[in-house]
Amino acid sequence: MLEDCKESIILIVDDNPTNLLVLSQTLKDIGLKVRVSMDGESALEQAIEETPDLILLDIQMPGIDGFETCKRLKLNPSVSDIPVIFITANNSTENIVEGLSLGAVDYIVKPFQKEEVLARVQVHLRLRLLTRKVQEQAIALQIANQQLECLANLDGLTQVANRRRFDEQLDLEWKRLTREPGPLSLILCDIDYFKRYNDFYGHQAGDTCLKQVAKALEQSLKRPGDFVARYGGEEFVVILPNTNFDGASHVAEIIQTDIEKLYISHAQSQVSTHITLSLGISSMIPTKEASESSLIAAADKALYEAKRRGRNTFYHEFSAV
């Protein structure tokens, strides 16, 4: 007997007290836990109350017979995967086929032999155990894959989406708004004089600053479809689906206000005593003739203009939408 099966629970269903006694003792002798029932209705109740690992089910019983009991078990999602071995004195092909078609995994013919009962029970307990392990491994693998996918899409430092994930999301939104025409806006955000910040305060402080700015950017976005990612270095990017020039400008104002509230000292900045952002905004209605690269290029051009105009401001390149 497999050690892992020692705690397995077997439910024996038979209206014959002698059969119940013999089978129970046979299984208990090898360390299995046994529960008994003398009719189909109570067997169903017991199976639902405390799920057994295997059911030995007599076919000929008063009330609902073994076939009907098995059918009801298989129709209940909470107990449908419990393996059922029929016990019968009728070993006709027709009888066996009917039982197997209802979902039974095996047959034991009366009068049963102790060695045969143990052999069949152990085989199906092993299969049950292996099935559970495979299911557990499949779930663990699925969770691991989800975690890996999450890690692959996140920037390791700031924990917002990375450049790879940004490219995917922008492509997705571009294609969607090409099919269902609507405005798409992009905001490129650059921390003003960040190199000087790093040089003066140190790279550890710089990392902390980046994480604070990333979190503030996330909190600035109010709609589920809005998206922020680290674009590279001290640059972040925001995707605003179904957002025109006015909407994007409003978000830019919120971002600047939220960054100001961080109150991160920046003694080396030439525009403020605290961390500020320069923002470049572009807005377009996606079409098949254009591409998302044009939206990025426009936002980049707008960001350059915001810096040229003194930083700590935002500039909008397109005003068509």
Strands 184-191 and 235-241: antiparallel
Mean pLDDT of the chain: 91
Where would I find the beta strands (DSSP E) of 137-199? 184-191
pLDDT tier, 7 (very low <50, low <70, confident <90, very high otherwise): confident
| CB within 8 Å of 255: residues ≥ 6 apart | 187, 189, 216, 217, 220, 238, 277, 279
CA dist., res. 88 & res. 279, Å (int): 79
pLDDT at position 97 is 87
Residue 4 pLDDT:
59
- Contact indicator for 12, 112 with CB cutoff of 8 Å: no
Say how many CA atoms lie within 13 Å of 26 toward its Cβ. 20
Residue 261 binned pLDDT confidence (cut-offs 50, 70, 90): very high
pLDDT 10s digits, 71-93: 999 999 999 999 999 988 887 88
pLDDT for residue 70 is more than 70:
yes
Measured distance CA(45)–CA(130) in Å, rounded: 26
What domains does the chain contain, in order, with CATH numbers? 3-142 (3.40.50.2300), 163-316 (3.30.70.270)
pLDDT-based confidence at 3, cuts 50/70/90?
low
Say yes or no to pLDDT of 248 above 50.
yes
- Active site annotation includes 41: no
> Which residues make Cβ contacts (< 8 Å) with residue 82, sequence separation at least 6?
47, 51, 52, 53, 54, 55, 73
Q: Which of 216, 319, 230, 315 lies closest to 275, judged by CA?
A: 216
Q: Count the neighbouring beta carbons within 10 Å of the beta carbon of residue 87.
A: 22
**For 30-34, 177-181, 202-206, 215-219, which range has the lowest pLDDT when averaged over its residues?**
30-34
pLDDT of residue 211: 96
Q: Catalytic residue among 7, 50, 68, 234, which?
A: 234
| Number of neighbouring beta carbons within 10 Å of residue 114 | 13
For helices 114-153 and 163-179, the axis angle rounded to 10 degrees is 90
By residue count, the chain amounts to: 321
Give the pLDDT band of residue 186 (cuts 50, 70, 90).
very high
β-strand partners of 108: 87
Order of strands across the sheet with 314-316?
227-232, 235-241, 184-191, 277-284, 314-316
pLDDT tens readout for residues 99-140: 889 989 999 888 888 888 898 898 999 888 888 888 889 898
- Beta carbons within 10 angstroms of residue 51's beta carbon: 13
In this prediction, residue 284 carries a pLDDT of 93
**DSSP 3-state of 34:** strand
Mean pLDDT of 286-308: 93
Residue with tokens 């009962």: 117
